[in-house]
Amino acid sequence: MLKLWFVAAIATPIVVTYLVIRDGFEKWGAYYVLAAFTIVIYLLRRYMMKRMEKHLQYLKEKGESQN
């Protein structure tokens, strides 16, 4: 799922920029919000995955030390 958001975070700004150049900012400029949204979602998911991995490692170490 993270790869999907990575591709969307790369492709969306490129496509929106192309459409802005072709048709004008007035028509497609608002879609930069969508591009920013995909980038934020990608970064948030990546952060949460790393955080969860660290938490699972902590729980594993905590469980081993109690036994």
pLDDT per residue as tens, the chain (67 positions): 889 999 999 999 999 999 999 999 999 999 999 999 999 999 999 999 999 999 999 999 998 887 6
Residue 38: how many other CB atoms lie within 10 Å:
19
CA distance 60 to 29: 48
Where residue 24 falls (left for φ over 0; alpha for ψ -120 to 50; beta otherwise) is left
Instruction: Give the pTM.
Output: 0.81
Q: Which residues contact 24 (CB under 8 A, 6 or more apart)?
A: none
Name the residue type at position 8: A
